[in-house]
Amino acid sequence: MLQNMKNEMLTHLTDSIIPFWLGLKDTEFGGFYGLLTYDLKLDKKAEKGCILNSRILWFFSNVLLLSDEGRLTFPTRNGITRSDIEDACRHAYLFLRDHFLDRENGGVYWSCSYSGDAKDDSKHTYNQSFALYALASYYDAVRDEESLEIASSLRRIIEEKCRDAQGYLEAFTIDFSPTDNEKLSENGVEAYRTMNTLLHVYEAYSEYLRVIKKAGCLKDEQEAVKDNMRFMLDVFAKKIYNPDKRRQEVFFDKDYNPLIDLHSYGHDIESSWLIDRGLEILDDPSYSKRIRPLLKELAARIYERAYTGHSLMNECEKGVDDETRIWWVQAEAVLGFVNAHERAAGEGSAAVSKYLEAAADVWGYIKENIIDKRPGSEWYAKVDKDGNPDPSGDIVEPWKCPYHNGRMCIYIQGGIQPGARVAI
């Protein structure tokens, strides 16, 4: 079952996702086009978001790493070569470096115009994190020392400008003065702190630590990043995770009081494997022992509560389920359930088969309902509970990228966690 998923996802990666995103390279102004509507109209003059560009850089860098592991062979069946991927990486990197990076104030802008001028020059911790995440992977793939220097500078910015004694902050002006957090607030509230930003700072630091450990460099930096990750894990365990409800809270005031009764199914299943991956990289047995039981509960609760109709619902607000099926939530469900399966296998648990069967079931749903089979498209952004595509969801936009689905196809090939895992 797992091998079949691996084979199918590798084919989907090489035949569909990679060529689709290669086709969005803007060879005139740099970067990648920022908008492809539901009806497949490409807007070459749409703004270019740093999150989208960073995730594309991360994606192509990890395609190279998958090739280095011997799990992907070039040229692919449709003639894509390693040089094509290297060019895409360099293309994304140069646009990030030359157009998103603020050399005067530090950090990266939220977005640029299609031609590369700063459009939204605000700074957001979430955005800094994804640039760091991408640059770390890019350095791992091509060993560009400049990219590592920029990555290190972004971590310093996050630590010096984007946190206080209690945790990580959210939104800032160009010079890192605090401002309203509209970009990472939803559901009618404006949050001072969010689970989502903390999760992806942790993700970025995990990847950065993995890369500099692998390269055997920046030894003092390694220790600092480990301390930062321990701090974030403490916040997760003490402030974000709700043990009574076996879930994470989402939006908070300054003192971590939840602002709304909201259960984000997608973020919980994503956190269950992503935080686990960071624990493996951190390699601190005391934290693994304390945090992994919480992650196990997150996955189990999502399986019980949100997994229905061969897929995952979106979220539950004030006891009411949103039954929309969101593209990224389904991808994270596959990874989360496979990770729960692998962990259960290591413990000799009977939960092995149910989680693997759930992962395969959701992958089947993705193939049937989420992958857009129209020529020139990729994945639908969302479908209703009956699997009908929602035309309000663009195929490409500042948040719709090859990060969740590409990561699913890439990570499933060698196990969710880096390094040696249990044999399945």
**65-90 pLDDT, tens per residue?**
999 999 999 999 999 999 999 999 99
Decide if 420 is inside a domain.
no
pLDDT for 420: 35
Q: Is the pLDDT of residue 351 over 80?
A: no
State mean pLDDT over 196-223. Answer: 97
What is the Cα–Cα distance from 322 to 173, expressed in whole angstroms?
A: 33
Is the peptide bond prior to 258 cis by the omega test (within 30 degrees of 0)? Answer: no
42 three-state secondary structure: strand
Q: Is the pLDDT of residue 424 over 50?
A: no
Model confidence at 422, pLDDT cuts 50, 70, 90, reads very low
State mean pLDDT over 348-376. Answer: 92
| Counts of helices then strands in the chain (DSSP H, E) | 13, 16
Q: Is the pLDDT of residue 419 over 70?
A: no
Kindly provide the residue ranges of all beta strands, DSSP E only, lying in 87-134, ordered along the sequence: 111-112, 118-120, 123-124
Decide if 293 is inside a domain.
yes
Decide if 424 is inside a domain.
no
Boundaries of domain holding 258: 2-414
Decide if 422 is inside a domain.
no
- Two structure tokens written together for 290: 């304390």
pLDDT for 345: 84
Decide if 146 is inside a domain.
yes
What is the Cα–Cα distance from 327 to 392, expressed in whole angstroms?
A: 13
Decide if 375 is inside a domain.
yes
- DSSP one-letter code for 312: E
Let me know: does 170 contact 126? Beta carbons within 8 Å.
yes
What is the Cα–Cα distance from 330 to 307, expressed in whole angstroms?
A: 10
What is the Cα–Cα distance from 316 to 264, expressed in whole angstroms?
A: 7
Decide if 97 is inside a domain.
yes
pLDDT for 17: 98
State mean pLDDT over 42-56. Answer: 98
Question: Is 0.85 topped by the overall pTM?
Answer: yes
Q: For the domain that residue 97 is a member of, what is the CATH number?
A: 1.50.10.10
Q: Is the pLDDT of residue 381 over 60?
A: yes
DSSP sequence for 171-225: EE-TTS-B----TT--TT---SEEHHHHHHHHHHHHHHHHHHHHHT--HHHHHHH
Q: How many domains does the chain have?
A: 1
Decide if 143 is inside a domain.
yes
pLDDT for 350: 63
Q: What's the chain's average pLDDT?
A: 96
pLDDT for 186: 86
Q: Is the pLDDT of residue 157 over 60?
A: yes
